[in-house]
Amino acid sequence: MEALKKCGYNEVVECPYNKSHLILKTRIQKHLIQCRKSYPNQEKSTCPFNTTHLINKKEFSYHVEICPDRASFDLYKYKIDSRPYSSENENFDENMDEPNSTIDEQPVEDWSNDNVPSYNPQQYCNKLPLLRTKVGGTPSEKRAFREAQREVFKQNQKN
């Protein structure tokens, strides 16, 4: 494996099912699906931080603690300040290691709330400064609609 990296194959990954399979990182997902069919008796657990990490069940808890992809998850979950702590730093947050409260306290949508006014597209269009045309109807209805639209447009222009 090290010899391959020296030759310029930095993007090569070892297959968790068969160590002799060396796969490009871009192809590992497809290979894992194919290799899983060839080795149905090997029980592997999927890492919660990277789906291409397949680990033996016995080693799973250890891997979760040391997984290199865990850093991106921790950055998302916790407020992490890259500045070193100093007593002069006024912006130092003592609760830096606690989870972000903004993530957990998002407002909950209530689709059963009937106190919301319904949307009226006709009322919305009458407020906009635009001229609409009537589709269908008799010529006299179209003419009356155009005249009404001109009046609404003039009123909107004055405001």
Sorted by where each begins, the domain ranges of the chain are 1-42, 44-80, 121-158
Question: Tens of pLDDT along 4-55?
Answer: 655 566 789 899 999 899 999 889 999 999 998 998 888 899 999 888 899 9
The label of the residue with tokens 């090997």 reads 42
d(CA 83, CA 19): 41
- Tell me the CB-side half-sphere exposure of residue 5, using CA atoms within 13 A: 7
d(CA 52, CA 89): 41
- The structure's pTM equals 0.44
